[in-house]
Structure 1
Amino acid sequence: MTYTPPDPHRTRPDLQGTFGMAATTHWLATATAQSVLERGGNAFDAATAAAFVLHVVEPHLNGPGGDMTGIVAPAGGSPQVLVGQGPAPARATIEHYRDTEGLDLVPGAGALAAAVPGAVDAWLLLLRDHGTWPVRDVLAHAVGYARDGHPLLAAASATIDRVARLFAEHWPTSAARWTPGGRVPRPGELVTNPEYADVLRRLVEAADGAPGREAGVDAARAAWREIVSPAVEDFVATPHRHADGRDHAGVLTADDVARFRAGYETPATADFRGHTVVKTGAWGQGPVLLQALRLLDGFDDDRLDPSTERGAHTVLEVLKLALADRDTWYGDADVPLEHLLSAQYAAERRALVGENASHELRPGVVPGRTTPPLPPLRVAGEAPPDGSGVGEPTVQTDGTTRGDTCHLDVVDRWGNMVSATPSGGWLQSSPTVPGLGFCLGTRLQMTWLDENSPSRLAPGVRPRTTLSPTIVLGPEGEAVMACGTPGGDQQDQWQLPFLLRVLVGGYTPQEAIDAPTLHTTSAVDSFWPRTWTPGGAVVESRLGAEVLAGLTARGHVLTDAGPWSLGRISAVTRDPATGVLGAAANSRGAQGYAVGR
């Protein structure tokens, strides 16, 4: 089998060492993680410290009011899913949203889209159960950046500029936080967040007053709930502008926040070419990657090269089938995942991969189950049913906006490994909550106001998240790689070519990250206003004119995204035989970084 060789001119080296490795979507978070490793902390201490820094330095991509999903692989133990996805509030009912608020979709911005914040409690739970450091030391970096300032990213400055009018006209607390004096902070300008620094300080003080490290972490978790609960309920009760162009009050209460506890779950897995890929259950989109790998495992290697016309076509068609199942069957519900990942089902679905591009949504049939109806389908560019404006990346004064995500991977010298994807609570998600310095997330926009959908809006039920970190186990069951990327619906789509190139093509992680990639838009967008492009595919031009022409001839509706635009994958690795560690990060966006020694 001839697999397309990688470009010999890599953007960065594959890092190798034996002490510890970290890779995240921001160099300050990566440096924070590595500094914790250097001072004796383990991978879980390092990941937690980096995550709180990401809350501060990537505020347009994640925040304390958002969520996270992680895969935790302790040395010598079994991987677990760390669940930092909060559920819908008790008052978040379809009846309220449809009949009282007059909505057909959950808005993409505003407090009606807010699930219970889950990220902070999840990170502190990880620190308590698997870390070794006290809260004070782990939060020190984040406190420093929030209190003393950090250079603002150009992308964050641009996001603030796009929402400045919305802030000025409708979200005054956000205007005060991000555009003091009516001025958008410049790229590289030092910005602070004194209110959030004070919140973190109070968590540290609560932990310091407890008898012992683990008790201190639990005291910080309790302090978080005590601080955030009343502030959130008081603030969201006032109507404010949402993405549908109207003003609504939120439904999140102090009791919702106070009741939430993060936890762990058994992951979903699938075997592929001698490795086991570990993902979340089907309350997230992680099994999309597993289903795609199960289908591809039945093809010869020459069908699995994303750099060729046939390979790229096969990857796109397999992803469409897996995503159709996601949109039909997935949710925080009784999902028939065992069947969806079975060899028989994979063979049935594999037979649907033809020589031409499909322009249909083709979910599979599960024996003994009534197939839920597909969600309402609107082609990209059509107006949502409420008639408000749409657009990405356009941000309008009606609250129309989009955000993205962060990612981090860490491995230490003992073999502990973690992959985590924090998101939500973007500065453009909803108005800043006074006294907290951050806003709520918008994950409920991924739910449907349809009683028949497994991903319907329901009190106490988690929205079907797109957050999708990955751990790969070797033949002996030991963690050999952690990887992931921001990107919403594209997270598993971009990870698929990466894994194919590493596990089948023999690329190094950095070579696979640098290689040109693609994804399909022929699936229902998880984000408001929930559109799709039948037969659509977004491609990097570096795939080459011949490959792109061949895809067009097969019926794919291509969007050329330029040469370097898709994916922000990072990864860390460990060779169990030698103990050699590795790390790689994405140069796209000029933001992610990997370090180690």
Structure 2
Amino acid sequence: MPFTPPPEFTTRPDLQGVFGMTATTHWLATGAGQSVLERGGTAFDAAVAAAFVLHLVEPHLNGPGGDLVALLATAEDPGTPVVLMGQGPAPAGATLERYRAEGLDLVPGAGALAATVPGAVDAWLLLLETHGTWELRDVLGIPLALARDGHPLSVGPARAIAAMASFFRDHWPTSAAHWLHPDGTPPVAGEIVTNRPWAGVLEELVAAGDALGPAASRADRVRSARDAWATGRVAREIDAFVRAPHRHSDGRDHAGVLRAEDLAGFRAGFEPAAVLDFRGTTVAKSGPWGQGPALLAALAILEPLDDALLDPSTADGAHTIAEAMKLALADREAWFGDDGDVPLERLLSPGYAADRRALIGPRASAELRPGTGPGRPALVRLRTAAEYAAGVAGVGEPTIESTGDLRGDTCHLDVVDRWGNIVAATPSGGWLQSSPTIPGLGFCLGTRLQMTWLEEGTATTLTPGRRPRTTLTPTLLLRDGHAVAALGTPGGDQQDQWQLLYLLRTLVGGWSPQQAIDAPAFHTTSFPGSFWPRTWEPGGLVVEDRLGEGVIRELEARGHVVTRAGDQVLGRLTTVGRDPATGVLHAAANARAMQGYAAGR
């Protein structure tokens, strides 16, 4: 049976041009990035401007207190993908003994005990320092104006604030003061909102660079801003604020352990990418301190199969893809972490992939089946959502329901310029619903430590100075020594699953980017989730109804525990790219959630 042909109509056009393309999960960020390109900036200048706009317009999905992972390639070295690492580590005080003394068996999903060192701001400034061409003052022009003068609140953050309003009033008064009206009511979509404390921070960062005087270089000025972020008022106010106990997602009050010294000791950096060749295309991801290589592992398992088994629109394809992803995510759980000793070459080898492929049978698996090998870390006891709920009756999660539309999530941006510089970045963390807003700063801290375990010996056991295994996982594609596409999506554990569907439809099925983005999506939940309360659903498969009644019934007949999510809900993937032979650029964005936007010329 041939691969399903692409649809005739798409929700949006496949954009093409020769000058520059920007695609993000919010139109205002896209506009800011494209504005920088139009005024002579590079893709890296544009990405930094767009990212600081995302802090403001998608505050329920990311913030300055969060983190990021990016993949990039330069026009000078287009065949070498590089990882921009903006994931901060666990603070020095984040010890197993401390958390166990707090009566915890999991790191909370909200509250400062779950905070790593904020990494996003330093990472963006590092990118500007090393790869940008613009002054920090110019790059921050649009974000500063939005923070100081305001912007219309979008539907997504308005819903998140409304959902959190009573919690803010009862438990996080600084968040209530920042996000709610004086009478305690939440703002509505379309209302002009500002963030003047954050505008003040941005102005201080610019001033730190300007203070060096005209003799300093542009890079020196940006580096001075980085130092001010890590060692100045921001670090001091974070330290002072988290020492006061506040409500966490276990239903109790705790103080945080993040200190000014932790911020002073962290700097973002660049790392080599993990890569795999699939059907003539090199796929680049972060290292196994993140979940990115799980996508590579799934591709290695699927590589030699017939095209019909790689078609996400059919029952055979959806079953095969879901089973391959279960195996890849089981290995993620067993092996991936920041201990520097992950045997990634073996886990992506053809022989290992063949052994894993042989485990795919005609029925849906309901077991966690990681591969074996010397030195494999321990696994924790798995719990279903029902089992966990039975043990913690009445305990709520400030990040909103873990299966709901309003849970903390992520955003994404892609930029390519006419010279061939290209970047895909997935910023997240520091959601307005993740921890109390720090009054003098206008943002809150991230909660990435919830992705660590409080048991000894696992791949991601909580350890001071180590990064938690992040779910942030952008992708870069290369052919014949040139980067040809950048892509990514919000979605936590689902990010690589939805990207896998996109890659199969474009690289195997020949679909256009927009056709692949629009197509029905699905993902498995048959693995331990990375977010509190870390439960799983054996055999679980979440599908968009548009996959089709016949396909869904066949998947259920094969033993998949299917949850129907609705027609247009799974994923917010965006992408940009460049054909190195012609110089033609392309971009596409997702219509789901009605916020993603691509622009270019």
TM-score in terms of structure 1 length: 0.97
One of 205, 208, 212 as aligned partner of 1:206? 208
How far, CA to CA, are the matches of 1:586 and 1:504 in structure 2?
A: 21
3-state SS of the aligned residue for 1:307? coil
What SS class does the counterpart of residue 495 from structure 1 fall into? helix
RMSD: 1.4
Displacement, 1:274? 0.3
Secondary structure of the 1:550 match is: helix
Structure 1 residue 388: deviation in Å? 5.0
Match of 2:281 in 1: 275
How far is the alpha carbon of 1:376 from its aligned partner? 2.3
The answer for the alignment partner of 1:580 in structure 2 is 584
Which residue number corresponds to residue 71 of structure 1? 71
Aligned to 1:135: 136
Of the structure 1 ranges 7-16 and 200-209, higher mean CA displacement relative to structure 2 is found in 200-209
Using the TM superposition, name which of 73-82 and 23-32 deviates more. Answer: 73-82
Q: In 1, are the aligned partners of 2:398 and 2:434 still within 8 Å (CA)?
A: no
Per the TM alignment, residue 380 of structure 1 is displaced from its structure 2 partner at its CA by 2.1
Q: Does 2:415 align with 1:410? A: yes
Q: Does 1:590 align with 2:594?
A: yes
Instruction: Give the whole-Å Cα distance in 1 for the aligned partners of 2:90 and 2:286.
Output: 19
Residue 344 of structure 2 corresponds to: 337
> Match for residue 186 of structure 1?
188
Q: Is the 8 A contact 1:73 1:418 kept in 2?
A: yes
State whether residues 248 and 398 of structure 2, in contact with CA within 8 Å, keep that contact through their aligned partners in structure 1.
no
Task: Give the counterpart of 2:199 among 197, 200, 207.
Answer: 197
Pick which of 267-276 and 386-395 moved more. Answer: 386-395
1:137 counterpart SS class? helix
CA distance in 2, matches of 1:381, 1:7: 39
Q: 1:259 aligns with which of 257, 265, 269?
A: 265
Distance 1:243 1:393 in 2: 8
Q: After TM superposition, give the deviation of residue 358 of structure 1 in Å.
A: 0.3
Structure 2 unmatched ranges of 5 or more: none
Equivalent residue pairs, number: 590
Q: Equivalent residue for 2:425?
A: 420
Correspondences of 1:426-441 after superposition (within 5 Å): 426-441=431-446
Q: Is the 8 A contact 2:242 2:256 kept in 1?
A: yes
Give the SS at the match of 1:347: helix
User: What is the match of residue 177 of structure 1?
Assistant: 178
Task: In structure 2, give the amino acid aligned to 1:59.
Answer: P
Following superposition of structure 1 onto structure 2, how do residues 373-384 of structure 1 map, counting pairs within 5 Å? 373-383=378-388
- For 1:116 and 1:180, the matched residues in 2 are separated by 30
Is contact 2:16-2:600 (8 Å) kept? yes
Q: 2: CA distance between counterparts of 1:216 and 1:464?
A: 32
Task: Tell me which moved more, 203-212 or 174-183.
Answer: 203-212
List per-residue Cα deviations over 1:457-506 (Å, max 9, x = no partner): 000000000000000001x1210010000000000000001000000000
Contact 2:399/2:434, CA 8 A, preserved across alignment: no
Cα deviation, residue 183, structure 1: 1.4
TM superposition shift of 1:207: 1.6
Q: Is the 8 A contact 1:163 1:395 kept in 2?
A: no
Query: Does the aligned pair in 2 maintain the 1:108–1:402 contact within 8 Å?
Result: no
Q: Is the 8 A contact 1:298 1:347 kept in 2?
A: no
Cα distance in 2, alignment partners of residues 76 and 293 from structure 1? 29
Between the aligned partners of 2:154 and 2:439, the Cα distance in structure 1 is 24
Q: Does the CA contact (< 8 Å) of 2:110 and 2:433 recur in 1?
A: yes
Q: Alignment partner of 1:2: what SS?
A: coil
How far apart in 2 are the matches of 1:316 and 1:145?
A: 42
Shift of 1:76: 3.4
Letter in 1 for 2:307: D
Tell me which residue corresponds to 1:534: 538
Counterpart of 2:572 in structure 1: which amino acid?
A: R
Give me the whole-angstrom Cα distance separating, in 1, the residues matched to 2:5 and 2:512: 11
Instruction: Choose 1-10 or 39-48, whichever is displaced more.
Output: 1-10
- The answer to whether the 8 A contact 1:383-1:390 is kept is no
Contact 1:117–1:441 (Cα < 8 Å) also in 2:
yes
* 3-state SS of paired residue (1:573): strand
Deviates more, 1:375-384 or 1:204-213: 375-384
* Alignment match, 2:329: 323
Q: Distance in 1 between matches of 2:401 and 2:69?
A: 27
Structure 1 gap segments, 5+ residues each: none
Distance 1:81 1:336 in 2: 19
- Tell me by how many angstroms 1:386 deviates: 5.1
Which of 298, 304, 327 in structure 1 is aligned with 2:304? 298
| Structure 1 contact 22–594 (Cα < 8 Å) conserved | yes
Deviations 1:483-539 (A, max 9, x none): 000000000000001000000000000000001010001011100001111000000
What does 1:458-497 align with in structure 2 at a 5 Å threshold?
A: 458-474=463-479, 476-497=480-501
Aligned twin of 1:457: 462
What displacement does 1:199 show?
0.3
In 2, distance between residues paired with 1:155 and 1:563? 18
When residues 209 and 393 of structure 1 are mapped into structure 2, their CA distance, relative to the original with a 3 A threshold, is: closer
Q: Report if aligned partners of 1:244, 1:388 keep a CA contact under 8 Å in 2.
A: no
Task: Give the TM-score taking structure 2 as reference length.
Answer: 0.96
Question: Which residue matches 2:33?
Answer: 33
1:571 and 1:585 in contact (8 A); partners too:
yes
Query: Percent identity at matched positions?
Result: 64
- Structure 2 partner of 1:52: 52
SS at the partner of 2:442? coil
The 2-side partners of 1:512 and 1:481 are apart by 14
Report SS of the residue matched to 1:382.
Answer: helix
**What is the rounded CA distance, in whole Å, between the counterparts of 2:263 and 2:51 in structure 1?**
20
